[in-house]
Amino acid sequence: MSLIVSAPKKKEKQSPYTYAWVSDSDVDSYSLHIAGVITQRIWVQDGVWCMRTTVYNNGKSGFAGHRPTLEEAAKASDRLLYKNFPHVWTVTDARAIIDPWRGDLRFDEI
């Protein structure tokens, strides 16, 4: 008689994120949709990054704007999400929108 010993199966690592930005590289756009809470979209149009946010709370309110770079547009949208929904912001994965400019160093003149 022989005894077969095997290592226990590793549990899958659960992501700490509930929501995520989604990239559509065909048209240079990014979106975040949280049903019943907020929808954010960032896209490039004529070399300018446009932003549109719709907030669903006691009705519907919207914000729109534009920035010269994806980094600035992403940070503006991120601040809006953090200011209005900090509990959602903490569980949102922004890697898809950050990857194109992450690691770049930018120094502004004083």
pLDDT in tens, 38-48: 999 999 999 99
pLDDT at 20: 94
Q: What is the mean pLDDT of the chain?
A: 87
pLDDT-derived band at 16, boundaries 50, 70, 90? confident
For residue 65, count CB atoms less than 10 angstroms from its CB and return exposed for 0-12, middle for 13-18, buried for 19 or more: middle
Neighbouring C-alpha atoms within 13 Å toward the C-beta of 63: 18
Radius of gyration (Cα) for the chain, nearest Å? 19
